[in-house]
A and B are shown apart, each in its own frame.
Chain A
């Protein structure tokens, strides 16, 4: 596994995405992708902290409503509950198991096996996918893509946000060069055609709010099968 000490992240989250994440208005797939990037990017972590500070300001500056209990009532309850209550953990999602080398934990928790052993499904020449979406009612996509060096994705755009987190390898498109740890945070304005340019396969985690719009006829025909 490549050393993360030397990972240099060049592509970051937009202000809008940081804000929406802080406000808690995003889906689990989007949150997962963002948490992966935040793991390897102290810079964006600091920006999220700042956004959280705005949330704190919003609460402080708001008008409160009446609450039924007083502080004294609550303390009495806390004392009555005693030590029994202190066993209630607020920690998230279990312990440190299920971790995969080189994969940020928010993603690692979703993978049953290391990346090379996943049950990849071939969807197009040079493109395999592993679906992560358990909620089949969701309109958007949430999946891991396995892209062979030299593979080119069809030119496509999105009605809303598309997030891509590069787990391994690299690609380039009209916007720039994206390497391990980078995040591509695109909205509906962008149409792009990524080309894999790493020697090893590129593993990319993607999440979208809405189905992708392909520009070519053939890709439009493919879309129901590819589903990205």
Chain B
């Protein structure tokens, strides 16, 4: 261990959380030590256990304590639809916002060759196996509308089409409650090109 006082080490360690700078780290450390030691102990135990026990689901790669996550194990969900997302947080977002009843596949990133991330690094060999073996009828591409997200969608779309699977892509457009005047040009042109019968 380094010779630094524990308090300083604690504040330094708290800064590994997103959005936590030196001042917030200091407040957190003082709060736990002065006002909520039991909460701090509880947090420490849970952190320890989570880091040890939470891994990735062997089928969809989302975060899971079990070898197969609850969504993949649920027999009431349909195997016909498979939705591909970039991160576990997006599974949670879709589950809360939609009534989607199919399965998921979590990439844990996106194709970004310049960062050394190719098809294998985001688990596409596993996805290819699933597409070949399971009776997927529709593959829903829900990667983000960035250039890397588009490249990822295209690559996966080709994989699915080669296997005769219908491929759909989530729509991109004007946010609800938004006003056209303030929407950026790229989004607006996309929304306009993707208009639907009404």
Chain B associates with chain A: no
A residues near B (Cβ < 8 Å) are none
| Residues in chain B within 8 A of chain A (CB atoms) | none
